[in-house]
Structure 1
């Protein structure tokens, strides 16, 4: 089932307009999350909204937004006040300009969204805008209001739709000089560069996301399985960092180390995706297998996801 749209409105290029819907392109709902519990009772912790001075619980209908302009002094801002400052981008993504993708500094990228026509109308206009961007090999820049904030959005063709990436404003990007000024100037010799390039060549490949597995998520599933099975949790040995005394020697050893596995490398098999039922189980269902079989066979992958 497709997720609910985060935003609905119109996409406009000059006088060409079409209704569109914006959907999140990524999700973290499959990651394991934890609830906070009372260690003494095992009960889940519940947060209450209370008055900071009286300690009394405050119902949602009595909670309003406020801006602290001085210590302990607030200006109340109502929902109606916020609607008064509503911008055109609240309902319309107006394409302001077209830029080269290489012009966009990666530090300004926030998160991707999918943009598609909303309903049966407007597919022709959407296709014209999409193919114009594709033909010009540019990225369209506009603005959109999400969660009561106006964002810059970069639009580019993706299959039959558009991918919109939210961008940061300049004041949100920190100056690198604050972090890099104290880095020492070091002379890197040609021999060092040659060895390092050789290591890079041995590791060269194309980016295929399916080759990567979330090792931490896998370890969490294994940990929970072991705890549910009543097993003793033993800490794993952590890798120790070593001081590099001779950089050239370390580079030479790295070249040899990377060359050895390359000769025996075989195409990696793509991991099978867990079915919906697997994701809901940490251990075999009681009654389907004997306790002895369940103890000897490794539990199936996947874990119940609970929101914190």
Structure 2
């Protein structure tokens, strides 16, 4: 597993050399843009609109636009010094909190943490302490020139670092338009909705959820590549045009019943067959 960051993490006077490894991967199917006539890949060139010339990487500088058309130019040396000054520091766990206090909206990326040379015992100590205290650590780390707030927790006997957004990076829910201020629903509607939720409730088994669009896209690509006939998938059942809330809830409940009834009938038939 590729190492993307090396350093150390500490809590109190305990210092743990660690390595970070990406815990997730992007499985999106990458499509290229081609010229329709000759099927050549399209090039994207860096061009200065004022000079009307193509620009090389060495001719590009970074800048911050503080107002429309006004920039503060930042030297590469300044950015490197700032980056080095922060990256050389050990990552320190600054707080320990209950995980349920952190809303999922804050979470960003996940990284596995493995112990560096000589860090096995301290790694095990932090892992065990987090498990028994039922808490997670909050730390700061710089990854790819950006300071990140991060949660350190245990996942399947491995320490995981989850980068999380700062509060000012999460937009206010109060700014979402057209959210009803009051729940104008009846007790019967609530009870029926809860009944529907109960009927659809199950244990979370991540392996049963798949990316159907990606699978269909890859099958389409393979069919075109090998010259096979492209099969159009069966159309999904059209969405019901029921506008009455209670009617929609009841219809949803009715749709979930046949499966369970059929299963019970199948079990009964099997039982009768065995008895015979």
The C-alpha deviation readout for 1:237-275, integer Å capped at 9, x for no partner, is 566444433322222222222011123459xxxxxxxxx
CA distance in 2, matches of 1:164, 1:196: 37
On the 8 A contact 1:8/1:91 being kept in 2, the answer is: no
3-state SS in 1 of match to 2:53? coil
CA distance in 1, matches of 2:14, 2:54: 51
CA distance in 1, matches of 2:64, 2:139: 29
On the 8 A contact 1:156/1:163 being kept in 2, the answer is: yes
The C-alpha deviation readout for 1:130-161, integer Å capped at 9, x for no partner, is 22222211110000001211010000122342
Closer, same or farther in 2 for the Cα pair 1:84/1:221, shift >3 Å? closer
* TM-score normalized by the length of structure 2: 0.85
Instruction: Please report how far the alpha carbon of residue 100 of structure 1 lies from its aligned counterpart in structure 2 after TM superposition.
Output: 0.5
Closer, same or farther in 2 for the Cα pair 1:38/1:255, shift >3 Å? same
3-state SS in 1 of match to 2:35? coil
CA distance in 2, matches of 1:182, 1:197: 21
3-state SS in 1 of match to 2:196? helix
The C-alpha deviation readout for 1:203-245, integer Å capped at 9, x for no partner, is 1111111111211012212322343326467697566444433
Instruction: Please report how far the alpha carbon of residue 180 of structure 1 lies from its aligned counterpart in structure 2 after TM superposition.
Output: 5.2
Closer, same or farther in 2 for the Cα pair 1:174/1:129, shift >3 Å? same
On the 8 A contact 1:90/1:144 being kept in 2, the answer is: no
Instruction: Please report how far the alpha carbon of residue 91 of structure 1 lies from its aligned counterpart in structure 2 after TM superposition.
Output: 4.1
Q: 2:210 aligns with which of 208, 213, 227?
A: 213
Deviates more, 1:35-44 or 1:251-260: 251-260
Q: Does 1:246 align with 2:209?
A: no
Q: Which residue matches 1:57?
A: 54
Closer, same or farther in 2 for the Cα pair 1:167/1:89, shift >3 Å? farther
Q: Which residue matches 1:27?
A: 25
CA RMSD of aligned residues (A): 2.4
3-state SS in 1 of match to 2:46? coil
CA distance in 2, matches of 1:236, 1:63: 51
Q: Which residue matches 2:3?
A: 5
Q: Does 1:183 align with 2:176?
A: no
CA distance in 1, matches of 2:106, 2:88: 21
3-state SS in 2 of match to 1:250? helix
Structure 1 alignment gaps of length 5 or more = 267-308
Q: Which residue matches 1:165?
A: 162
Closer, same or farther in 2 for the Cα pair 1:234/1:201, shift >3 Å? closer
On the 8 A contact 1:199/1:254 being kept in 2, the answer is: yes
* TM-score normalized by the length of structure 1: 0.77
> 1 or 2 for the larger relative contact order (CA 8 Å, sep ≥6)?
1
Higher strand share: 2
3-state SS in 2 of match to 1:188? coil
Q: Which residue matches 1:81?
A: 78
Instruction: Please report how far the alpha carbon of residue 101 of structure 1 lies from its aligned counterpart in structure 2 after TM superposition.
Output: 0.5
- Residue correspondence of structure 1 range 1-308 to structure 2 within 5 A: 2=1, 4-28=2-26, 30-86=27-83, 87-88=85-86, 91-118=89-116, 120-179=117-176, 182-183=179-180, 185-228=182-225, 229=227, 231=229, 237=235, 240-264=238-262
Structure 2 alignment gaps of length 5 or more = 265-276
